[in-house]
Amino acid sequence: MGILRIRKAKRIAGEFRPPSDKSITHRALLLAALSERESYVGRPLMAEDCHAMMTCLRSLGARAIEDGPGFRIQPSPWASPELPLNCGNSGTAMRLLAGAIASFDGVAATLIGDESLSRRPMKRVSEPLRQMGAQVEGDRPPLTIHGRRLHGIQYRQEVASAQVKSAILFATLRATSESTVVEPSQSRDHTERMMKAVGIDLMTEGLSVTVDPSPVRGFETTVPSDFSSAAFWIIAASLLPGSELVLRDLGLNPTRTGLLELGNLLKVEGRRQVLGEPVGDAIVERTPLPEPFQIGGELVPRLIDEIPIMALLATQLRGRSVIQDASELRIKESDRVAKTAEFLNQMGAEVTPTDDGMIIEGPTPLKGTTIDPAGDHRIAMSAAIAGLIAEGTTEVKGTDCINTSYPEFVKHLEKLVEY
């Protein structure tokens, strides 16, 4: 079990490339494994979650060959694996794979996960797949899926979920008719952008997305760096005077960058498109702290992963910040509402958890303490950044969980921080 000790810093500075985007890596690997021709996925994130996806795809028959900083993935018929497919801690891998496997008539597989993933609800994905004609056993892991010749559905989601939406879209690629998914608010749209970029017949209109059964052509792409991982450094730079950062190849998908609505946190140069995704180089400098914020409604899906680190920022703003409509946080890798409030209050903050978010009073000075992130990578990294502005020493236990999404986090911490 890793232990990370952090002390108060003067500033952070440097130029680097944050880790590749986890969400895009999952989707690119899966789409390549469904392609009729060879595909190349460059610079995929090979953290634990995405490694689980790759291992599962190989067990289903995909042929992936390392080539430079990426993989060439060659067409191969899918077949029932001999052993259960272990998705580890990755809800994205489990839900997206469930959709794809369900579309292969005659293929059967059982999806399992670690203790945390085994507690997470899967009825949101198993129910629409059953409506499409798949046989799905279980509404929590393990899930056993028997693929069938599926038909399309019209599906209205009660909660905005890119994972559920994507599972339906992947399942429809081999179905007999189109599917339409309607969301209550916009969730991240990586699947739609990627499918459009490779020529799949897909149409979006407002909060509705429709996809036709389509063959998948081979493609080549390089995965951009992950905005959610970069957010830790963006917030750190905003809290430490004199900080200067350049973040290369940063993914700037507007369904992921709700954090930037807080204020002028960065400027972007070299804007470009990569397989439908907006990308640029971000320059981050210390600017005046934003005003206290109120987050809710349609903004929440666009920054759901950043809420723990945003809560840290709120402890240093002058006034009351409110986060609401974020009950989804309670069924992540941990109960992130409870764990965020717990570690910040341990450090001296004034955070009150609510059913669907939290209320944060600021500014409050923070002091070092010992924090247990309960196996949640985003809690562990948020606590580490908090240690950079806290008096004394902060000790974060169980930091092995950071490998879920950001294996180089400690290396980057050591490179960027000046004491």
Q: Residue 20 carries which DSSP code?
A: B
What is the DSSP code string of 96-114?
Answer: HHHHHHHTSTT-EEEEE--
Location of structure tokens 């992963």: 305
Cβ(344)–Cβ(311) below 8 Å = yes
Cβ(134)–Cβ(171) below 8 Å = yes
Instruction: State the alpha helices, DSSP H only, in 65-105.
Output: 91-102
Question: In whole angstroms, how far apart are CA 232 and each of 18, 249, 259, 382, 416?
Answer: 10, 16, 11, 7, 12
Which residues, in sequence order, are bridge partners of residue 279? 251, 272
Burial of 202-214, coded b for 16+ CB within 10 Å and e otherwise, reads beeeebebbbebb
How is residue 360 written in tokens?
A: 């944060």
How is residue 303 written in tokens?
A: 């920054």
Active-site entry in 114, 305, 356, 376: 305
Catalytic-residue membership of 305 = yes
Rounded to an integer, what distance in angstroms lies between the CA atom of residue 98 and that of residue 196? 21
Which residues are known to be catalytic? 305
